[in-house]
Structure 1
Amino acid sequence: MRGRAISFKTARREAGDNTAMSIIDFDFPRRGELRSALTDIAPALVAGVPIGLLFGAVAVAKGMAPLEAVLMSALVFAGGAQFAAIELWQHPPPLVALVVSTALINARHILMGISLAPKLKLLGMLQRLCGCAVMADENWALAERRAAGLPLTPAYFLGMGAVFWANWVLWSAIGAMLGPVLGDPRRFGADFAFIAIFIGLVVSLSKGARSAGVIAASALAATLVHAFVGSPWHVLSGAFAGIAAAALLDRKDAR
């Protein structure tokens, strides 16, 4: 049985012509959109396996019960912040340090949400809230890439986020239960998987010299701050350096 189609129209005014208007009809079967979402997120699902296993194992080693580790992955769903919290975990927990470090790491989601908001016009408010609740770096970047050529549909955005969330929770649970048996996946270099995916995504999103300048500024700032100040300050530093570089390049182009 074929999924119900999602149909809509967009209008685009041709540059330099006040009368020419092109109307483009799109027809996206829901099942096809889900299939596209699964295809796009598949590499990140594979890369998430060793990271999820590692988190579950480390959380239990730090004194968490397996159920607590699974609930943390399900409710927080923020790999970097979860690892930062686990590194600081002790009894009693240092609440101020936990709040500050995780807030700094996750502050990038504000910028990610601002960037993605105009591209979620086909989603209702509840759909936006649910989709952004399971938004991570990987599915955000994939959504941005998708929006560059096609509209973001609810089936694509929500389907991709839900599968990515379920994958993280599943492998965190397995890592929490089997961590002592599995050992540390980093000894196989598995922690490089997400980095490799992001390199590929950055290359695919790059659009010439301007993009290269923004990427270089962000990478340089993050690297220097990480080397001389430490985590988690490098996350925001890289983001703000990229924003500043983009603003400067836009001003230069305007002249």
Structure 2
Amino acid sequence: MQPHDAGSPPAESAAPLTGRGMLLGLRRVSVLMPGVVVFAVAFGAAASAKGMSLAETLLMSAFVYGGVSQLVAMELWRPEWSWGAIAGLAVVTATVNARMILQGASLQPWFARYPKAVNAFHLFFFTDANWLIGTRYRSEGGRDLGVLVGAGLALWAVWIVATAPGHMLGMLVSDPRRYGIDLVMPIFFAAMIVPLWRGRRGLVPWAVAGCVALLTAKLVDGYAFIIAGSLAGAVTGAFRDDPA
């Protein structure tokens, strides 16, 4: 007799968030730290070149914590601001960060089991790296949200700490392209995405996303290619999925 057969669904719907999971997230994200450090140093140097103080730079890393969008903001940064310039900066950074909507939606079935307060907390630390780690972890059958929380907290702390030496270096690496730092993130994402390959069925959505992104980058100024490529790949994948 198995009185708890009917209890299997509640066990499945349980929402674990453990210290062990956080440690696992820390271990998994540790391999990405060198790339994150280089990118944070590049941001700190760019902020210094734009005249931001060390305190302002650290506060931006701590409370904005936008990664790529912070570097984009530095490209548009100016000594004097108008409401039009502020609105333009907001639109550009929102476009860059809009990819998080699709990334978060892909993990929503996982997040949905947790209280809103928990989700509000860990989503502040949600990054591309978290999404990649979370996606791989879930594909392996993992359920502990601590993995995502641990990875996010570790990345956030490292990002803030690494911003400081970047600011001190100042003009030395003010132009990321000069030292090839602008290639760090593309290489990093390419290396992380490879394990997500699930066979030839995924080739068409990936190819469509890449082609649309490249075409948009050629035809439209700014960062609209990020959203265009993501949406094109997502829609293509949705239409190719089995109805079941």
**Does the TM-score normalized on the shorter chain lie above 0.5?**
yes
Find out whether 1:76 has 2:64 as its counterpart: yes
In the alignment, which residue of structure 2 is the partner of 1:132?
123
Unaligned stretches of 5+ residues in structure 1: 1-8, 13-22
With over 3 angstroms needed to count, the CA separation of the structure-2 counterparts of 1:10 and 1:121, relative to structure 1, is farther
After TM superposition, the structure 1 = structure 2 runs for residues 155-170 of structure 1, keeping only pairs within 5 Å, are 155-170=146-161
Indicate the structure whose relative CO is greater, using CA pairs within 8 Å and at least 6 residues apart. Answer: 2
Within 2, Cα distance between the matches of 1:134 and 1:227?
Answer: 32
Alignment partners' CA distance in 2, 1:140 and 1:112: 6
1:236 has 2:224 as partner: no
CA RMSD between the two structures: 2.6
Counterpart pick for 1:204 among 195, 219, 224: 195
Distance 1:49 1:78 in 2: 14
Q: How many Å apart are 1:183 and its aligned residue?
A: 6.3
1:57-112 per-position Cα deviation (integer Å, ceiling 9, x unaligned): 11110121111111111111112211121111113231111111011111111111
Per-residue deviation, 1:37: 1.0
Shift of 1:178: 2.8
Residue 185 of structure 1: how far off its partner (Å): 5.8
| Counterpart amino acid of residue 54 in structure 2 | P
SS of the aligned residue for 2:32 comes to: helix
Letter paired with 1:36? L
Structure richer in helix, relative to its length: 2
Aligned-partner SS, 1:217: helix
Structure 2 distance, partners of 1:141, 1:106, is 16
TM-score (norm 1): 0.82
* Aligned with 1:88 (options 60, 69, 76): 76
Q: Which runs of 5+ in 2 are unaligned?
A: 1-6
Q: Percent identity?
A: 30
Give runs of aligned pairs for residues 32-111 of structure 1, distance below 5 A: 32-93=20-81, 94-111=85-102
TM-score by length of 2: 0.85
1:122 to partner: Cα distance: 5.2
Matched length: 233
Tell me if structure 2 keeps the 8 A contact 1:105–1:232: yes
Q: One-letter code of the match for 1:71?
A: L
Report if the CA contact (8 A) 1:120-1:152 is conserved. Answer: no
What residue in structure 2 maps to residue 214 of structure 1?
205
Q: CA deviation at 1:226?
A: 1.2
Q: What displacement does 1:199 show?
A: 1.3
Taking the aligned partners of 1:33 and 1:110, their CA distance within structure 2 comes to: 24
Structure-1 residue corresponding to 2:3: none
